[in-house]
Amino acid sequence: MDDSLRELYQDVILDHSRHPRHFGPLEGATNTAEGHNPLCGDRVKSNLIVDANDRIADITFEGKGCAISQASASMMTDMVVGRSVAEAEKLMGGFLHLVKGEEATDLAGDDREQLDVMAGVSAFPMRVKCATLAWHTMKSALEGGDGAAKSE
């Protein structure tokens, strides 16, 4: 990766970290879950409204953590709002492959382009847990919520 692209990716991560999208409580949430990364102290809570058509009508997150953790949560909420639960779960699968340095063939082109900023995390195994915490927490919320999720 050339230096200008690396710098652009860092800028995107810092922007999402400093100005997170969909941050805060969500009144009327139908699904919630909390996640914690005990290795670094990152904490996240996912709040979702899943409608009768099994679509994520709205999603927010709360919590605190490192720039990677917060940026990943912000990007996730931006990308899953309006999608079906199945589409969100497929996106999560592709993201997990991407940040683990595996082939992410299950990501659509536009999704891959947006998530590529996090691909560099795969070079830092301890940071993978930071990047995946919000995604695992969202999945826990979708599976019934009100439980604790841990990043893998």
Judge contact between 106 and 89, C-beta under 8 A. no
CB within 8 Å of 42: residues ≥ 6 apart: 36, 63, 64, 65, 66, 69, 129, 130, 133, 151
Q: Is the pTM value of this prediction over 0.85?
A: yes
Q: Tell me the two tokens of residue 99.
A: 């940040």
Domains identified in the chain, total number? 1
In a domain, 151, yes or no: no
CATH code (residue 105): 3.90.1010.10
In a domain, 11, yes or no: yes
Phi, psi (degrees; rounded to nearest 5) at 86: -60, -40
Instruction: Between 26 and 105, name the one with better pLDDT.
Output: 26
Q: What is the pLDDT of residue 152?
A: 47
DSSP state of 55: B
In a domain, 87, yes or no: yes
Q: Considering only CA atoms, which of 149, 151, 150, 141 is closest in space to residue 49? A: 141
Whether the pLDDT of residue 70 is over 60: the answer is yes
Whether the pLDDT of residue 104 is over 70: the answer is yes
* Residue bearing tokens 């709360």: 62
In a domain, 150, yes or no: no
Instruction: Between 40 and 58, name the one with better pLDDT.
Output: 58
- Structural domain boundaries enclosing 91: 3-145
Q: Summarize the confidence of residues 81-101 as an average pLDDT.
A: 95
